[in-house]
Amino acid sequence: MTVRLRTMEADYLNVSTTSGTPKYAFMGVGFTKADESPSAKTTSKQYINQKSAVQTITSYDWKMAVEADQIK
């Protein structure tokens, strides 16, 4: 099994100032932290012949907190 390092993943930030076509910029120099939080949303259902409920992942509420330096 290979370990996937953070340096192997590229992140991009939508820097568009309008709600029209998105414009993405590479997050590299200046960014010091990027914490991803996928937060799975689930539904739960229990049928009459089951002892416990079954959970199913329906979607993800993905968020990423970032820290960056202001570089002119």
**Which tens digits make up the pLDDT trace of 27-39?**
888 888 888 888 8
How crowded is the C-beta side of 9, counted as CA atoms within 13 Å?
8
Instruction: Say if 54 falls within a structural domain.
Output: yes
- Prediction pTM value: 0.54
Instruction: Say if 1 falls within a structural domain.
Output: no
pLDDT at res. 42:
92
Q: Which residue range forms the structural domain that includes residue 50?
A: 6-68
pLDDT at res. 43:
93
Instruction: Give per-residue pLDDT as tens, 7-17.
Output: 788 888 888 88
| Residue indicated by tokens 């076509």 | 21
Joined tokens for residue 17: 């100032």
Q: What is the number of structural domains in the chain?
A: 1
Length of the chain: 72
How crowded is the C-beta side of 50, counted as CA atoms within 13 Å?
8
Buried b (16+ CB within 10 A) or exposed e, 6-21: eeeeeeeeeeeeeeee
Instruction: Say if 22 falls within a structural domain.
Output: yes
User: Amino acid identity of 22?
Assistant: P
